[in-house]
Structure 1
Amino acid sequence: MRWLLMLCALAAAALAQAGALFAQDTLRLDQAREAAARAGKGVAVWLTLPECAGCAEMASQVFTQPALAARLRQDFVEARIDLASPAPLTDLDGASTTAADFARRLRLYATPSLAFFAADGALRYRYTGVLNADGLRQLLDYVRRGDYDRQPFVPRQPARPKLHAAPPPVNAPQQPQFSLSDSAGQRRSLADWRGRVVALAVGYTHCPDVCPTTLSELKTAIEQLPAGLRGRVQGVFVTLDPARDSAAILAEYAAAFRPRGGRAITTLRGDGEADTTALVRALQLHAERQPAADGADYTLDHSAGIYLFDARGRWLGVAAYQTPTAQLRADLLTLARRAGAPHPDRF
C-alpha cells in the first residue's frame, strides 16, 4: 500500500510540474509543428486577446487543471498566440505573417478560440467560445475521434432553466469577474450575492429615459413575484459614468426604485477607469460618450437591458430593453425558485 501511495504522489507531482496550458506566447508555429512531428502529435493553438474576459476565465479556471493539461499534451504540442501582438509570426509552414492575418486565414474572428492541426500542418478543427473544464475535455475527445463530418462540436451542458432572456454571447465568461464599490465604499463582486439571483442593469443617473425605464420595469417585475421569493432577487445598478455619479448620488437615485417587499437596489461604481473597463469587458458592454450640443455636457450611448445571474453566480441571460414585464417576472420567478432549492442543479 505504501508503494502505491508513493506512486500516486509522484504522479501528482509530475502533473503539477507540467504547468498551466498555453502559458507562453508563441511566434514560431513552425517550431511547434516540428516538435509535434518528432513526438507524433498535433499542434493545438490558443488564440487570445489581453482584454478578452472569456479568455481570462479559461486561463485561470480551466488551463490550470493539471489532469486536463496532461490530457491535452498527450495528443498535442500547445502554442498560444496573442492576436494583439504586432510582432511577426512564423506560421506552421514557415511563412512569415502576423497573428491577425493568421486568425483571418483560419476564419477565427473572435476570442477565445482554439485551432487543432495535424502533424503535417493540416487544420483538423477550430472552435470559438468559452469552455469550462468538462467542455474542453469533450472538445479534446471530439477532435481525437475526428467526428467533424458527422456533426459540429457542441459542448454538452446539464439542463439550464428555460428563460425568455437571450443567452449570453458564447465567447463571454460564464462567471464574470469584476469588483466595484457600493454606496458605503465596500468592494463588491458577484460572489457577494451567492445564494441570490442578481438582476443587474448598467447606465448613469443623468440618463434621460432608458435607465429609469429599465429600473422601473425591474421594480415592477420583482414586486409581482410571490412575497416569499422577492428577497431572493438582488437588483444591482452599475454606473458607467463614475465621474459624475458619486456614491451619494447613486444611492439617492436607486432609492426611488426599491421594490415593495424586496431588497434595496445595490448601486456600484468604479473607483477608477480600470474598474469600469473591467466591467465593460466582462459583460461585453457598449459605452460611448456623446458631447451635448452646447459642448458643456455629455450623454452616454450604452448597452441597455437586465443581466441575469443565478444563485451560483452563473451568467444565464440578458433581458433586452423593454422586455415585457410578464417575461422578466417569469425569468426571475424561475431563477428565484431554483435559488431556494436544497441542492441547486450544477450547470
Structure 2
Amino acid sequence: MTRTQKTVFILVAIVAVVLGLTVNRVLSGKGQGDQTALIDAGVILLPQSRNVPDLKMVDQDGQPVSLGSLKDKWTLLFFGYTFCPDICPTTLAQLRQIKSELPKETVDKLRIVLVSVDPNRDTPQQLKTYLGYFDKQFVGLTAPVDSIQKLANAVSIPFIPADTSKPNYTVDHSGNLALLGPDGTQRGFIRAPLNNQKLIAQLPGLVERK
C-alpha cells in the first residue's frame, strides 16, 4: 500500500467513525450521552427493530405459548439449558440479583425468559424446577430443536445443537441476551458478561421507551 493509499484509507476510516457516531446520536433520540451509557452497560440497540418469528413453544407449566404473546413488557431472552455447568447458572443468578435491585415499577415492565437449547433433556418440569432455584417468575420455554434454532438465528444469538447420543453432553451457546420490546420485536442485545450495577442504572430508563 502506497503512502497516498494509506492516507486515503485513514481518512475514509475517520469519516466512517464520524458518520457512525452521528447516526448513533440520531437513532438514540436522546443524545449521545444516553447511547454511550447504554453501550457501556452492554446494551446495544438496533437501528431498526426486527420481527421475531411467531413460533409455538411450551412453557415451564406445560402450557402452549406463542412468541407473539411476549408483548406489553420488555423481554430479556436468554438461550441456555438446565444442565449447563457455567454460563447459565451464573447468568440467571445475575439476572435475579439485578431484578432484586431494580425499582418495582421497572420490574413490572420486565420479563426474563430462558429458552432451552437442550429440549432433549429440558422438559417443562425440569425447567420449572431449575428456574425455581433462581426466581419463580422467570419463564422457561422449550420446543423442538429446529424451532429453537430458527428463533436463535432470527435474533442473531445462534447455538450449536448437541450430539445427544453422547453421555453428559454439553451445548455450545452464547451468554448474550436478546432484548425484545413491548411490541414483541427485537430491539437489541445485552452483551455478556453482564455488568450488574451498570444494568441496574440503565434498565429503568430503557423500559420507559415505547
What is the TM-score normalised by the length of structure 2? Answer: 0.73
Pairing 1:211–2:65 present: no
Pairing 1:279–2:155 present: no
Q: Identity over the aligned pairs, expressed in percent?
A: 24
Taking a change above 3 Å as real, the CA distance of residues 279 and 335 of structure 1, as seen in their structure-2 partners, is same
Pairing 1:322–2:193 present: yes
Name the CA distance, whole Å, in 2 between partners of 1:267 and 1:333. 24
Name the CA distance, whole Å, in 1 between partners of 2:163 and 2:184. 36
Superposed CA RMSD in Å reads 2.9
Q: CA deviation at 1:210?
A: 0.4
Query: Which of 186, 196, 203 is equivalent to 2:64?
Result: 186
Taking a change above 3 Å as real, the CA distance of residues 278 and 291 of structure 1, as seen in their structure-2 partners, is closer
AA in 2 matched with 1:269: T
CA contact (8 A) 1:165 1:319 kept: yes
Pairing 1:334–2:205 present: yes
Q: CA deviation at 1:329?
A: 1.7
- Residue in 2 aligned with 1:308? 179
**Unaligned stretches of 5+ residues in structure 1:** 1-150, 339-343
Q: CA deviation at 1:158?
A: 6.7
**Unaligned stretches of 5+ residues in structure 2:** 1-18
Q: What's the CA shift string for 1:191-232, capped at 9, x where partnerless? A: 323221111111111000100111111111111111233221
Query: Which of 219, 222, 226 is equivalent to 2:103?
Result: 226
| Structure possessing the higher radius of gyration over alpha carbons | 1
What is the TM-score normalised by the length of structure 1? Answer: 0.46
Taking a change above 3 Å as real, the CA distance of residues 290 and 267 of structure 1, as seen in their structure-2 partners, is closer
Pairing 1:266–2:139 present: yes
More helix by share: 2
Partner SS for 2:111: strand
CA contact (8 A) 1:197 1:310 kept: yes
Q: What's the CA shift string for 1:295-328, capped at 9, x where partnerless? A: 4231111111222222223423322222210122
Name the CA distance, whole Å, in 2 between partners of 1:173 and 1:232. 19
Name the CA distance, whole Å, in 2 between partners of 1:268 and 1:290. 18
Q: What's the CA shift string for 1:39-62, capped at 9, x where partnerless? A: xxxxxxxxxxxxxxxxxxxxxxxx
CA contact (8 A) 1:233 1:332 kept: no
Q: CA deviation at 1:235?
A: 0.7
Aligned residues: 180
- Residue in 1 aligned with 2:15? none
Partner SS for 2:172: strand
Partner SS for 1:337: coil
Q: CA deviation at 1:335?
A: 2.5
> Which portions of structure 1, spanning 4 or more consecutive aligned residues, are displaced by more than 4 angstroms?
154-158, 289-292
Taking a change above 3 Å as real, the CA distance of residues 281 and 169 of structure 1, as seen in their structure-2 partners, is farther
Q: What's the CA shift string for 1:72-98, capped at 9, x where partnerless? A: xxxxxxxxxxxxxxxxxxxxxxxxxxx
Name the CA distance, whole Å, in 2 between partners of 1:330 and 1:312. 23
Name the CA distance, whole Å, in 2 between partners of 1:209 and 1:329. 23
